[in-house]
């Protein structure tokens, strides 16, 4: 029987520029990129290709030195045009000059009966060889899942509560069949303990008839859609626990792999933000260059181009590349212009959780707002205001957790909930922080300290 959880804590940001449920056809970008930095916990990527080599979609580009069977593959077919390296020859991007028509590397196809008779080892072998495995994230720590581990459960958040987030049901329309096949395969990995977490306000038809899965319903403001928050309410994570998470599009991708024998990196993404003229959806592939995705559809202003949402996405620039886990592009004003007394003048246009300079915005809290990247102040001493506890719907003490990380207090970190959070779970804390701290970076630092201790 479905469980229902009502979350009272949180804060919705009514950002202007949510995508209409319309798909616009575009000319596909010429360039795509795979970025090792998208995958937390990647030990050391080892290249399997060189510049000038032609690859098919699904062909391996590199593997993880810490787990050599886990392959990272090309999202499209084409020529390896560049391998961008950073300090100490660290691999930053592997760029592919895409073919006009995508050619796929062909893997083994499975019937429904074959999947029913599949062993766990066979399922893992197919997922690691095809390049889908990197979509499995282990909690605690939010790192690549280890194929040799056996999780106690796998969690899927089927809705996104971030600002201007894409409609997950729209992204998965007409994919009910492959999504169910993906669920069937996941059941081989976690002994049938698969959790599908839905928005309690509306159950889309794409998810309504799912079998062999535990249904959980969540209501409340952001971050109700974060899988980490959902796990906390279903079954909190302890030090010795291991659970995995995977996004809904990757579940459908698993179904496509087993039914059609291809790694299909195509996906709908939402083009959002106040600087987009016509917010809508476009179909492209993972790792797409942003140039053609937003071409002629953004206001000619000083804008920031973000792969992902505005709270936890990545600033990539107008010619940057879409992240592996991102289904959204956000374009908002840069906010690098000074505003006289901007921090103290009451305004209808601004938004403030603390009811400070955005005091009048609370007269109409649902009115969409044009917000820029200005932090309205510089970093200052860590302030204990109790605000974090008001917006994080988890039974932990975030203020003291952050302070324990800053002071490198391992025992306090463990006692205060470091195993339960990753960056996206505290992104809202960073947004409302009066001290302007980079809370997400602080949490990742704490995670790495504990993980490597």
Structural domain spans, the chain: 3-13+109-131+138-260, 31-98, 266-363, 387-451
User: What is the Cα–Cα distance from 338 to 117, expressed in whole angstroms?
Assistant: 64
- Only one residue has tokens 């039974």, namely 395
Please tell me the predicted confidence (pLDDT) of residue 342.
54
Q: What is the DSSP-derived secondary structure letter of residue 178?
A: H
Query: What's phi and psi for 92, nearest 5 deg?
Result: -95, -50
Please tell me the predicted confidence (pLDDT) of residue 90.
93
pTM beyond cutoff 0.85: yes
Please tell me the predicted confidence (pLDDT) of residue 83.
97
Please tell me the predicted confidence (pLDDT) of residue 62.
98
Listed as ranges, residues in the chain with pLDDT below 50 are none
The dihedral sign for the CA sequence 74, 79, 82, 85: positive
Retrieve residue 236's tokens.
């909190």
User: What is the Cα–Cα distance from 247 to 158, expressed in whole angstroms?
Assistant: 7
User: What is the Cα–Cα distance from 91 to 83, expressed in whole angstroms?
Assistant: 7
Query: CATH classification of 266-363 is 1.10.510, yes or no?
Result: no
Q: Give the distance, in angstroms, between the CA of residue 61 and the centroid of all CA atoms in the same chain.
A: 22
31-98 CATH: 2.40.50.100
Please tell me the predicted confidence (pLDDT) of residue 341.
55
**Strand 214-219, strand 280-285: pairing:** unpaired
Please tell me the predicted confidence (pLDDT) of residue 193.
95
Q: Give the distance, in angstroms, between the CA of residue 140 and the centroid of all CA atoms in the same chain.
A: 16
Query: What's phi and psi for 261, nearest 5 deg?
Result: 75, 25
Query: Around Cβ 53, how many Cβ atoms within 10 Å?
Result: 12
Residue ranges of the alpha helices (H) in 172-266? 176-186, 205-208, 227-234, 248-260
Q: What is the DSSP-derived secondary structure letter of residue 298?
A: B
Peptide bond into 140 cis (omega under 30): yes
Please tell me the predicted confidence (pLDDT) of residue 352.
67
Domain 3-13+109-131+138-260 -> CATH class:
alpha beta
Please tell me the predicted confidence (pLDDT) of residue 21.
96
Please tell me the predicted confidence (pLDDT) of residue 167.
97
Beta-bridge partners for 196: 156, 215
Q: Give the distance, in angstroms, between the CA of residue 319 and the centroid of all CA atoms in the same chain.
A: 20
Please tell me the predicted confidence (pLDDT) of residue 355.
62
Q: Are 433 and 377 a contacting pair, CB within 8 Å? A: no
């Amino acid at each position: 029987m479905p469980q229902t959880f009502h979350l009272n804590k949180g804060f919705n940001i009514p950002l202007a520029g949510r995508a209409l449920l319309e798909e616009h056809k575009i000319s596909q970008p010429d360039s795509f990129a795979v970025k090792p930095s998208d995958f937390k916990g990647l030990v050391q990527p080892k290249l399997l290709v060189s510049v000038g080599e032609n690859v098919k979609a699904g062909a391996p580009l590199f593997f993880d030195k810490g787990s050599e069977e886990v392959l990272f593959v090309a999202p499209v077919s084409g020529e390896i045009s560049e391998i961008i390296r950073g300090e100490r020859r660290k691999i930053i991007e592997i760029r592919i000059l895409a073919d006009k028509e995508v050619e796929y590397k062909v893997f083994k196809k499975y019937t429904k009966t074959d999947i029913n008779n599949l062993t766990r080892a066979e399922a893992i072998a197919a997922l690691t060889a095809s390049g889908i495995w990197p979509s499995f994230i282990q909690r605690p720590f939010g790192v690549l899942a280890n194929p040799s581990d056996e999780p106690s459960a796998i969690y899927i958040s089927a809705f996104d509560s971030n600002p201007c987030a894409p409609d997950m049901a729209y992204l998965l329309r007409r994919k009910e069949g492959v999504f169910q096949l993906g669920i069937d395969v996941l059941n081989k990995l976690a002994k049938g303990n698969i959790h599908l977490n839905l928005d309690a306000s509306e159950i889309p038809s794409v998810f309504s008839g799912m079998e062999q899965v535990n249904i959980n319903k969540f209501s409340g403001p952001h971050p109700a859609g974060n899988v980490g928050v959902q796990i906390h309410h279903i079954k909190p994570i302890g030090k010795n626990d291991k659970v995995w998470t995977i996004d809904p599009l990757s579940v459908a991708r698993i179904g496509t792999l087993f039914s059609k024998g291809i790694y299909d990196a195509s996906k709908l993404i939402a083009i959002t933000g106040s600087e987009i003229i016509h917010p809508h959806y476009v179909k492209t592939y993972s790792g797409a260059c942003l140039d053609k995705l937003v071409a002629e559809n953004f206001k000619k202003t000083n804008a920031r181009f973000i792969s992902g949402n505005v709270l936890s996405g990545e600033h990539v620039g107008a010619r940057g590349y879409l992240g592996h886990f991102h289904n959204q592009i956000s374009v908002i004003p840069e906010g690098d212009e000074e505003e006289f007394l901007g921090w103290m003048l009451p305004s209808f246009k601004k938004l403030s959780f603390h009811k400070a300079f955005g005091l009048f915005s609370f007269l109409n809290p649902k009115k969409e707002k044009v917000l820029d990247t200005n932090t309205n102040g510089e970093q200052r001493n860590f302030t204990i205001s109790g605000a974090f506890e008001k917006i994080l719907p988890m039974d932990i003490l975030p203020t003291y957790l952050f302070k324990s990380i800053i002071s490198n207090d391992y025992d306090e970190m463990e006692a205060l909930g470091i195993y339960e959070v990753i960056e996206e779970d505290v992104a809202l804390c960073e947004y409302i922080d009066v001290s302007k701290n980079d809370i997400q970076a602080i949490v990742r630092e704490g995670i790495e300290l504990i993980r490597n201790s």
